[in-house]
Amino acid sequence: MQYFVNVTLTGLTEGMVYAAFALALVLIWRSTRIVNFAQGSMAAATTFIALALIQDGQSYWVALVVALASGFVLGAVVERVVIRPVEGGPELNAVIVTLGLFVAIQAGIAIVFGSSFQSFGTPFGLQGFQVGDDRIALTPNSVFVIVSVLLTMALLVVLFRFTRVGLAMRASAFGQEVARLLGVRVGRMLTLGWALAAVVGSLAGLLIAGGEFVYPAYMDSLIVFGFVAAVLGGLDSPVGAIVGGLVLGLALSYVSGYVERGSALVNVAALAILMVVLLVRPGGLFASSTARRA
């Protein structure tokens, strides 16, 4: 029973990070109908900025704030400089641009910060809590991860549901021409959407890096898992991204914990889940029944 609890707790913690990354993908998809394949590289870049600050003697919290702010700026710049010129053209153009950006940013990280493995610290301990005579797989850092993602999701809900900016962003996402006629500055809202998505992606990158070694391509697996989580829940649904991330995290944790040589089968399991979802419900578990066009 203790083993099951530990495997479940591990799955929930990792699932929260997948959910955060999937949410970043969904935010961009809802506003521009683009899958941002560069999201992982952008998050890696801000993580290395945080690492440089920590190595320079700054606290984790200062590095965290600077990294998230860097993600905000990077997301806005990418939307205005790289994505805006190809928006409205063939969909394949945007795909190629984000793939090229993915490679370019990863190469830039290697040039600026080096390609060697570097340890990334955590703000809290990595030793599990003691419950009775047992030590469970829930650490203070795991609690920090879960609370951070939940707080981010709550702030996004408040932004989109209860503020004028959030209303304008939703209007821009659901109908750009109508929003323009109503006086919404759609361009600014799309830029803000990319910037917020980059902040959420940066948070996911920082959280998954805690207690691990980072290198320019360390986000590659999270890109795959985050994409699977987004598709599982439905690329158009923020709630689906959260549920998809948690379901995927638990599923991969059970495969790793209960299947012989399961840790080597995690990527195969993610692919199998993606294929099953695409075959059974191509739009994802929380996709709307009627397709919406931007």
Question: pLDDT of 29-55, one tens digit each?
Answer: 877 778 888 888 999 999 999 999 999
Residue 27 lies in a domain: yes
Locate 207 and state its tokens: 């959280």
CA distances from 103 to 38, 42, 51, 184 (A): 8, 10, 21, 34
* 138 lies in some domain: yes
Average pLDDT over residues 269-293: 75
For residue 288, being part of any structural domain is answered with no
Say how many domains are in the chain.
1
Is the confidence at residue 155, as pLDDT, over 80? yes
What pLDDT is attached to residue 289? 52
Is there a domain that residue 287 lies in? no
Question: Which residues constitute the domain of residue 126?
Answer: 1-280
| 165 assigned to some structural domain | yes
pLDDT on residue 292: 46
Helix, strand or coil, per DSSP, at residue 119: strand
The letter for the amino acid at 125 is G
Please list, in sequence order, all residues whose beta carbon lies within 8 angstroms of the beta carbon of residue 110, skipping any fewer than 6 positions away: 216
By the 10 Å C-beta count (0-12 exposed, 13-18 middle, 19+ buried), 248 is classed as buried
In angstroms, what CA-CA distances link 9 with 32, 192, 273? Answer: 35, 34, 20
Q: Does residue 269 sit within a domain? A: yes
pLDDT confidence of residue 134: 79
Q: Please report the DSSP string for 236-257 in residue order.
A: T-HHHHHHHHHHHHHHHHHHHH
Q: How many CB atoms lie within 10 A of CB 252?
A: 25
Whether 292 is covered by a domain: the verdict is no
User: Residue 293 above 50 pLDDT?
Assistant: no
Q: Give the predicted TM-score (pTM) of the model.
A: 0.88
CATH number reported for the structural domain that contains residue 3 in this entry: 1.10.3470
pLDDT value at 219 more than 70: yes
* CA distance readout (Å), 64 to 24, 122, 150, 272, 289: 17, 11, 17, 35, 39
How far is CA 139 from each of CA 19, 125, 146, rounded to the nearest angstrom? 19, 7, 11
Structural domain includes residue 294: no
Residue 226 has pLDDT above 60, yes or no: yes
